[in-house]
Chains A and B, each alone.
Chain A
Amino acid sequence: SQTIHQWPATLVQPVGSPLSLECTVEGTSNPNLYWYRQAAGRGLQLLFYSVGIGQISSEVPQNLSASRPQDRQFILSSKKLLLSDSGFYLCAWSVRRQGGYGYTFGSGTRLTVV
């Protein structure tokens, strides 16, 4: 079966500290991978997406970066966190299916920068 794992579930980090959030996918190959963020009271904003290993597209300029070292692994990083990086981070993948596309989201990481 196709599953997506995202960790940690919650994280509290001081301003200026580094960040690494990891997402892995099982049961599919060559998926498109995405990182989204939901700030408090806001919608889902696309941060990065990847169509293959080493291929990263950034949607908004920010303090974050993403990497895809393996086909089913997507990492969100920061060298120095800002207060404004607080939010709910979601990893997702998509693959073509009959009649359209299947998009599946992870359970999310609640990041609080203090």
Chain B
Amino acid sequence: DQQVKQNSPSLSVQEGRISILNCDYTNSMFDYFLWYKKYPAEGPTFLISISSIKDKNEDGRFTVFLNKSAKHLSLHIVPSQPGDSAVYFCAASAYGNKLVFGAGTILRVKS
């Protein structure tokens, strides 16, 4: 039972353009959503989060949008840089309990 889904295994974007990574969830009890960036053989690094009481959160080049009715969230990176190339994981939790992760999306930013 995949409660958090990232349906795009990979995404390729030109440097300077916008990267949009998508995530869908099925559990309506989720109230906190996070995006992580991960390089091979390293632990995930926290990028940005959003509570279910909000529909947008912005931090520098990163913006997360939450559409609760559609059970969908997205991460926008503007402008994309080559250093952004990594695997991006969407994750969700209910009341601060265990994080449930999506399968990840590989982002490649071409220079």
Residue numbers of A with Cβ under 8 A of B are: 6, 32, 34, 36, 42-46, 49, 59, 88, 90, 92, 94, 96, 99-108, 110
Contact = CB atoms under 8 A, between A and B. Distances in A.
A100 B49 contact: yes
Contacts, number: 61
Nearest to A44: B101
Contacts of B97: 32, 49
B41 A88 contact: yes
Interface of A is mostly: strand
Interface residues of B, number: 24
B21 interface: no
Contacts of B104: 43-44
B109 interface: no
Q: Name the 7 nearest CB pairs between A and B, nearest first.
A: A105-B43, A43-B103, A44-B101, A101-B96, A49-B98, A107-B43, A108-B43
